[in-house]
A = this chain, B = another copy of it.
Amino acid sequence: MKNLVVAQSGGPTAAINATLAGVIATAYTSEKIEHVYGAVNGIQGVLDEHFIDLSEKIKSARDLDLLCQTPAAALGSCRLKLKDLDKDKAQFERIVEVFHKFDIGYFIYIGGNDSMDTVDKLSAYCMQNNITDIKVVGAPKTVDNDLVGTDHCPGFGSAAKYIGVTFAELERDCHVYATKAVTIVEVMGRNAGWLTAAASLARVNGAKGPNLIYLCEPVFDNDKFIADVKAQLEENDSVIVAISEGIKDKDGKYVSEQVQSGAVDAFGHSYIAGSAKVLENMVREQIGCKVRSIELNLMQRCGGHLQSATDISESRMLGSKACQCAIEGDTGVMAAVIRQKNDPYEVTFTAIPVSQVSNQEKKVPADYINEAGNNVSKKMMDYLYPLIQGEPEIVYEHGIPKHLALY
């Protein structure tokens, strides 16, 4: 028997703990695994030997359910990216040293692109150095839905549901006044427009939904935007526009960079925010009607009270799948979901080499966007629809959803 370590990384989502629950449930039922540890703050927690014995925190199936409804990484996260194998082996040696010290045979890392890079490098290091007693497996997670190799990512469906519901509610709100007004809503998505596309889900019950939707994939043209808004104002009092935070002009420059500094985060990504604010000012100056901007901000990724049951079930399955892969001897793979068909919705779970996943981005294909570049196509609606179905029963206590804290 060996021990297992599970860790989480990257941005929080409403489903990342369901994947953790899936890992734990499968580990608890395996005769090959003795202790199940959680590393606090991702791979940093491994380097720091900051482990939690999860059996002391998760003692029942009910605890697992509560974990599933708790948003954001219960084991914490980090933004630490491991150095390249050929440049610096010290981090890898340290990780393996810690794993051997704690008799860790299985390491499951739940995260997005950068986390899969860690799985890729660490599993490659082990293979290159003939370390066969440590299996390293990834489980996908990202609200952005931009991981390749999986039909969609845990966390995306719940965020999509939050966005669809919120746009439906904003539409009711903006509908009440009989005056011309434009509401510009900024949705997360630096380089992939999946989340912004989810605004279209506000339409599934016959509502109009956002009048215009601009994803970050097509070139964003200011003049075209103003013309689109003017045309919508001809026909409607209230015009709602969904935009990706990462809309870019023809030179690839973020619209938001018109008002932002050149700050970058730890991964060298441009720090961006405020595309909607830029467009708000543009509408005010060039059209002159009432206009406001809204950012869905962190709420869209941590809305645990508004999870998609489909997302949570699949996220848990992917955690189980990742754990099962490791138990059965796989390493350097990521659990993934394959959509078999749409109506009725059917999926299967598989594992793919993580080297095919890391450091790539799955952008929205052109045929998921309408020709004018200001809305989504039916293909996108068909893709999104199954992912937001179902509402898990959330346990409330004293009027607020109960959350489970691990540290």
A: which residues have CB within 8 A of B? 8, 12, 41, 44, 70-73, 76-79, 161, 164-166, 168-170, 172-178, 183, 201-202, 204-205, 207, 294-299, 301-306, 308, 385, 388-391, 394, 396-403, 405
Contact = CB atoms under 8 A, between A and B. Distances in A.
Given A41-B176, A168-B401, 18 more contacts: A12-B176, A72-B169, A76-B176, A76-B178, A164-B399, A168-B400, A169-B302, A173-B302, A183-B298, A201-B399, A204-B397, A205-B402, A207-B405, A295-B295, A385-B398, A388-B399, A391-B394, A391-B399
A67 to B, nearest CB: 12
B400 A173 contact: no
A305 B70 contact: no
Nearest to A403: B172
Count copies of this chain in the complex: 2
A205 B72 contact: no
Contacts of A73: 176
A68 to B, nearest CB: 13
A311 to B, nearest CB: 11
Contact of A399 (B169, B301, B389, B401): B389
Contacts of A400: 161, 164-165, 168, 201-202, 204-205, 388
Contact of A170 (B77, B169, B298, B399): B298
Contacts of A77: 176-177
Contacts of A168: 400-401, 403
A34 to B, nearest CB: 28
* Most chain B beta-carbon contacts within 10 A, residue among A170, A207, A390, A397: A170
